[in-house]
Amino acid sequence: MAVIICPHCESQEGFYTKEQVRGIATPHYTKEGHYAIDNSHIYDSLTHSGGKRAYCVVCKKYIGKSEELISGLIEEETF
């Protein structure tokens, strides 16, 4: 697997995109008023646009088109 390296600062920490998100979220809470553990449904009705440009997470500079950098693989959460 290829590693993405920032051409400006040589960081290998990754990149981010700037996206506009619209919609209504409905978070759930427990009977004690705590944020519910599973609130993954709150993203179901949101729409995303943008995200075409990728920026280094360290130096914040433009590193390329996100469509050329995103692998398409979904990484599992690790605890």
- List, for residues 20-79, the tens digit of each pLDDT value: 999 998 999 999 999 999 998 988 889 989 999 999 999 999 999 999 988 877 654 544
In a domain, residue 55? The reply is yes
Q: How many domains are contained in the chain?
A: 1
Cβ count near 58 (within 10 Å): 15
Q: Is residue 63 part of a domain?
A: yes
Q: Which helix (H) or strand (E) holds 63?
A: strand 62-65
Would you say residue 61 lies in a domain?
yes
Which phi and psi angles does 68 have, rounded to 5°? -90, -15
CA distances from 70 to 16, 39, 41, 54, 73 (A): 10, 25, 24, 9, 8
How would you classify the pairing of strands 15-22 and 62-65? Answer: unpaired
Domain range for 59 is 1-17+51-70
| pTM: predicted TM-score of the whole model, two decimal places | 0.69
